[in-house]
Amino acid sequence: MTTAVPQPAKVRGRPAPCWPGTIAIPLAEFGKSMDDPDLDVWFEAFAERNSDMYEYEISGTGHLLIREPTGNPGSVYELRLAGALMFWADEHGGVAFGSTSRFVLPDGSYFGPDAAWLREERCHEIMLPGNLPFPSIAPDFIAEIKSPSNSDAELLNKIDLFLEHGTRLAWYIDSETRTVIKFRPGQEPEVLHDPEYIDGDDDVLSGFRFEVRERIFDLFADIQQQEEQNAAGK
Fold (topology level) of 74-233: tt1808, chain A (3.90.1570)
Q: How many CB atoms lie within 10 A of CB 218?
A: 16
Cβ atoms 144, 163 nearer than 8 A: no
The pLDDT value recorded for residue 229 is 57
8 A C-beta contact, residue 71 and residue 37: no
Name the DSSP letter for residue 185: T
Going from N- to C-terminal start, the domains of the chain cover 74-233
Q: Give the span between the Cα atoms of 16 and 43, in whole angstroms.
A: 18
Residues of the chain with pLDDT under 70: 1-15, 222-234
- Rounded CA-CA distance 170/188 in Å is 12
Q: What is the pLDDT of residues 88-146, one digit of tens each?
A: 999 999 999 999 999 999 999 999 999 999 999 999 999 998 898 999 999 999 999 99
Asked whether the beta carbons of 227 and 85 are under 8 A apart, the reply is: no
- Do 55 and 187 meet the contact criterion of CB atoms below 8 Å apart? no
Is this model's pTM higher than 0.75 or not?
Answer: yes
Distance, CA of 117 to CA of 216 (rounded, Å): 19
For the sheet containing 115-118, what is the strand order? 95-97, 115-118, 141-146, 169-174, 179-183, 190-193
**Chain mean position to CA 123:** 19
Percentage of the chain with pLDDT > 70? Answer: 88
